Each structure stands twice: as C-alpha cells, then as structure tokens.
Amino acid sequence: MPDCKFGYNFQTHHIIPIRKGGEDTFDNYIILCAWCHGRHKLHKLSEENRIALLVYKFMVEQDVLGFTTDEEEEEEIQKKLNLVVKEREKIDSAPVSA
C-alpha cells in the first residue's frame, strides 16, 4: 500500500472477498505485507476501497511487470510472470563486479 511502513512477510489479499462474490483469480489478487493485509478497512467492501486497491495494484504491476493483470488472460499472465521470475533469477545469480 502507498502508506506501508513494513513491506515484508507478503500475503495474498482478495480485493473482493470470496465470501462476497469475489473470484479466486489473478485479477482479484493483490500482494500486501502482513501489516497492511490485517488492516480492517481493507476488508470493508466499499467502492472507494476497491478502487484504491485496484489503482495501487495496477500501478505496481505496470511498474514491476510491465503489464497489468486486467489486460491479459490468466494463462498469459502465468507465462509473463514466469519470464519475469527467470529474468530476476539471472540478475540475482550474476557475478558482482568490483
């Protein structure tokens, strides 16, 4: 979340809760730290909260992944995420030059 002070111990949050008709799909997920996920206002299904979460999610996705999950089908999202992970693994395993 924009006001996150912690940024670790990530959890998946359903933007629209399953019990309130949300789907268990990529476009309904957002990754939050445990502290942000535990905030009670996130679980109130208001249009304002939903829009705020979606805007934040799409900004982060565009910045980190180069696409947003509302633009793609789940199969394509999985392929693109796999490519991002492989690219990050290459970067992480590259030797550090002095």
pLDDT digits (tens, 9 = 90+) for 57-90: 888 888 877 777 777 777 887 787 788 778 877 8
Mean pLDDT score of the chain: 78
- Interacting residues of 50 by C-beta distance below 8 A, sequence separation 6+: 15, 16
Structure tokens at 30: 């957002």
The dihedral formed by the CA atoms of 52, 12, 61 and 56, expressed in degrees to the nearest 10: 10
C-alpha–C-alpha distance, residues 28 and 98, integer Å: 43
Which amino acid appears at position 43 of this protein? H
CA torsion through residues 68, 80, 72, 24, sign: negative
Is-above-0.75 flag for pTM? no
Domain boundaries, the chain: 10-93
